[in-house]
């Protein structure tokens, strides 16, 4: 039978253990079965500003109020079996997230004691919270984006169904905003959007939701406003607040707005349809004089049912994880060894099958989902590349398309940093593909962002080279490393003398500018021979590998007989990716 008085040897062992825990980098507590602190490490005492130590206090009050119930339950459960808990602890200065690991043991006197070891996970939680916020909020204005708007409307629908009260959805489009961007530049335009968002938010009630739908459009959800009189009262205030001039950098700017409204349940009973019909009414208001509000009527021409249903399915697809990545090999033109992959996005719809990017990318660009999808694709591609490199046991790179809207997003560089940090990749493993048109929308802004991208060692590729702007000045101005010859110049080689001349010119230009070249859409041996004989570095196309899921790409890297995996295309497949 155990003695109730600890032996000298036991006291020495416990003293040694306590000394060891004193030196631990994590916070450490030893508790009795009631949660009373018997011992706390120096780090814990310092963190909670207790120079005399924490012994004799209860652990529970150290938790933030919202975390105490969970901590109490975890302490009780730990008496039966070891456990783990993510919890917020309240120090005198701030709340800090900790991962606590709890275990029980019997002391010398036969009494249960708990050992609690905590690791600071604040940085991880802050990163996750930032990513969640980026996924659901507009980077420019801080307002909810379309993804969060969809959730908010569904919530109001549920409330309206219980209360029997209707509500309305208002789409607010600024009038003449394009002239601001074209005449004064995007920085001024961005400032106007931020100011407009602030005015609208102040005009609305706390119970209302205001979101930025993209471009110069906002959406307001107005619970309890379902009659013409209620709607006219609210929208009249919104129109008035936007009619006053905006003062930016010494400019007095007048824009105004047009508003379209749909009503639940009169016009629709789902969130996507409500927004689509409000959009249709707003477009009609712009077409018939601007600076006015129109409530939806079936007589108005709305968007096609197909587009509405596809957009609704896209928001659902994001929640259900239906988007996936395919990888197309990029090979050395001489050796045909895989040097890297281009990441291409696919949508695996439960009934439609694989939806081609040409159908869903334009919708994602318009509704703002492209930022969320693009951030996910970049992060997932970086993680996948690590696995590719481990299997191949050599350097490989990943080429990722960056859409125009992503590129203009204020948070894009943060997304890039997060992807590199999460995957552990260095930037030189990435090639970021950008179209000519994207760069020329705002060359000053583009140059600044490209320089910051290259500071992270990422390489820049011009996608679909030769199909956009005729000016070649940007090749000199921007830090570009790779040119991708568009497939339209490859498909008729070698028979087309014009395409041959264009390809020769691009390759000569790249040689003198010390740029790498990738030929896209290579499908025949004749095309391959022509392009390789002219000094092209890399090729991409069905001849050397069609887009494939990750497991097939891994097989291509690990199998010696890679040629067995290369199949001819049954027909032209639309090109995918976020672009």
Q: Is residue 489 part of a domain?
A: yes
The contacts found for 233-238 with CB under 8 angstroms, 24 or more apart, are 234/170, 234/204, 235/170, 235/259, 235/261, 235/293, 236/293, 237/203, 238/170, 238/172, 238/200, 238/203, 238/204
Same structural domain, 318 and 417:
yes
Mean pLDDT in consecutive groups of 10 residues from the start of the chain, 579 residues: 45 54 71 91 86 86 89 92 91 88 87 90 78 79 89 92 90 89 87 95 93 91 89 91 89 89 89 87 82 79 54 76 92 92 91 81 76 90 92 92 86 91 91 86 85 94 73 80 91 91 91 92 93 92 92 82 40 40
**pLDDT for 223:** 93
Same structural domain, 320 and 298:
no
Q: Is residue 398 part of a domain?
A: yes
Same structural domain, 108 and 177:
no
Same structural domain, 287 and 327:
no
**Among residues 309, 372, 336, which one has the least CA distance to residue 133?**
372
Same structural domain, 385 and 423:
yes
Q: Which residues, listed in sequence order, are joined to residue 330 by a DSSP beta bridge?
A: 340
**pLDDT for 575:** 39
**What domain range includes position 185?**
139-303
Of 303, 337, 358, the one marking the end of a domain is 303
Strand 430-435 versus strand 459-465 pairing type: parallel
Same structural domain, 348 and 418:
yes
Same structural domain, 103 and 168:
no
Of 91, 120, 149, the one marking the end of a domain is 120
Q: Is residue 578 part of a domain?
A: no
Same structural domain, 48 and 147:
no
User: In this structure, are residues 553 and 533 in contact, taking their beta carbons and an 8 Å threshold?
Assistant: no
**pLDDT for 181:** 82
CA dihedral 410, 423, 537, 495 (to 10 degrees): -70
Q: What is the CATH number of the domain that holds 211?
A: 3.30.70.270
DSSP string covering 391-432: HHTS--EEEEE--HHHHH-TTHHHHHHHHHHHHT--GGGEEE
Number of domains the chain contains: 3
**pLDDT for 404:** 85
In the numeric block, the tokens 């590129």 are attached to 407
Q: Is residue 125 part of a domain?
A: no
Global pTM exceeds 0.85: no
Q: Is residue 573 part of a domain?
A: no
323-355 tens-digit pLDDT: 999 999 999 999 999 999 999 999 988 887 888
**pLDDT for 560:** 44
Q: Is residue 3 part of a domain?
A: no
354-382 tens-digit pLDDT: 887 877 887 787 667 788 889 999 999 99
Same structural domain, 48 and 82:
yes
User: In this structure, are residues 132 and 151 in contact, taking their beta carbons and an 8 Å threshold?
Assistant: no
Of 281, 303, 325, the one marking the end of a domain is 303
Same structural domain, 251 and 203:
yes
Q: Give dist(CA 461, CA 442) in Å, integer.
A: 18
Same structural domain, 293 and 389:
no
**pLDDT for 410:** 78
**pLDDT for 155:** 92
- In sequence order, the 6+-apart residues with CB closer than 8 A to the CB of 443 are 474, 477
Same structural domain, 315 and 293:
no
């Amino acid at each position: 039978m155990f003695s109730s008085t600890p032996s000298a040897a036991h006291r020495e062992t416990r003293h040694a253990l306590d000394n060891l825990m004193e030196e631990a980098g994590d916070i450490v507590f030893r508790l009795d079965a009631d949660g009373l602190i018997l011992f706390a490490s120096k780090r814990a005492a310092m963190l909670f500003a207790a120079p005399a130590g924490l012994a004799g206090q209860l652990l529970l009050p150290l938790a933030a109020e919202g975390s105490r119930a969970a901590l109490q339950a975890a302490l009780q459960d730990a008496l039966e079996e070891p456990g783990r808990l993510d919890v917020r602890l309240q120090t005198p200065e701030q709340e800090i997230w900790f991962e606590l690991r709890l275990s029980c043991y019997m002391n010398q006197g036969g009494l249960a004691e708990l050992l609690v070891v905590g690791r600071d996970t604040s940085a991880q939680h802050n990163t996750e919270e930032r990513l969640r916020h980026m996924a659901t909020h507009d980077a420019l204005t801080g307002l909810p984006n379309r993804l969060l708007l969809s959730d908010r409307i569904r919530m109001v629908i549920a409330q309206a169904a219980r209360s029997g009260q209707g509500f309305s959805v208002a789409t607010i489009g600024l009038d003449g905003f394009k002239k601001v961007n074209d005449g004064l530049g995007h920085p001024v335009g961005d400032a106007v959007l931020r100011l407009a968002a602030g005015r609208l938010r102040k005009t609305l009630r706390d119970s209302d939701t205001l979101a930025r739908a993209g471009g110069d459009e906002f959406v307001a959800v107005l619970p309890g406003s379902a009659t013409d009189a209620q709607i006219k009262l609210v929208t009249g205030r919104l129109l008035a607040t936007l009619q006053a001039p905006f003062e930016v950098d010494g400019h007095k700017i007048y824009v105004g707005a047009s508003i379209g409204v749909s009503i639940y349940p009169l016009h629709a009973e789902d969130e996507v349809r409500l927004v689509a019909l409000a959009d249709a009414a707003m477009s009609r208001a712009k077409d018939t004089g601007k600076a006015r509000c129109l409530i939806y009527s079936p007589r108005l021409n709305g968007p096609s049912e197909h587009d509405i249903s596809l957009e609704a399915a896209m928001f659902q697809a994001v929640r259900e994880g239906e988007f996936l990545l395919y990888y197309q090999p990029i090979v050395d033109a001489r050796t045909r060894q895989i040097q890297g992959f281009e990441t291409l996005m696919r949508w695996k719809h439960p009934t439609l099958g694989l939806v081609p990017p040409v159908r869903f990318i334009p919708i994602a660009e318009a509704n703002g989902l492209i930022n969320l999808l693009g951030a996910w694709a970049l992060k997932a591609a970086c993680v996948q590349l690590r696995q590719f490199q481990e299997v191949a046991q050599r350097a490989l790179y990943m080429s990722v398309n960056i859409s125009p809207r992503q590129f203009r997003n204020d948070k894009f560089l943060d997304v890039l940093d997060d992807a590199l940090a999460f995957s552990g990749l260095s930037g030189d493993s990435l090639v970021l593909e950008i179209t000519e048109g994207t760069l020329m929308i705002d060359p000053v802004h583009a140059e600044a962002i490209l320089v910051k991208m290259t500071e992270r060692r990422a390489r820049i590729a011009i996608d679909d080279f030769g199909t956009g702007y005729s000016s070649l000045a940007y090749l000199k101005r921007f830090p570009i490393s790779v040119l991708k010859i568009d497939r339209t110049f490859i498909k008729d080689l070698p028979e087309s003398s014009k395409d041959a001349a264009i390809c020769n010119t691009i390759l000569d230009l790249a040689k003198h500018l010390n740029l790498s070249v990738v030929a896209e859409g290579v499908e025949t041996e004749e095309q391959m021979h022509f392009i390789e004989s002219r000094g092209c570095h890399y090729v991409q196309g069905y001849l050397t590998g069609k887009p494939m899921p990750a497991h097939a790409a891994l097989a291509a890297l690990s199998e010696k007989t890679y040629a067995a995996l290369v199949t001819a295309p049954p027909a032209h497949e639309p090109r995918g990716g976020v672009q």
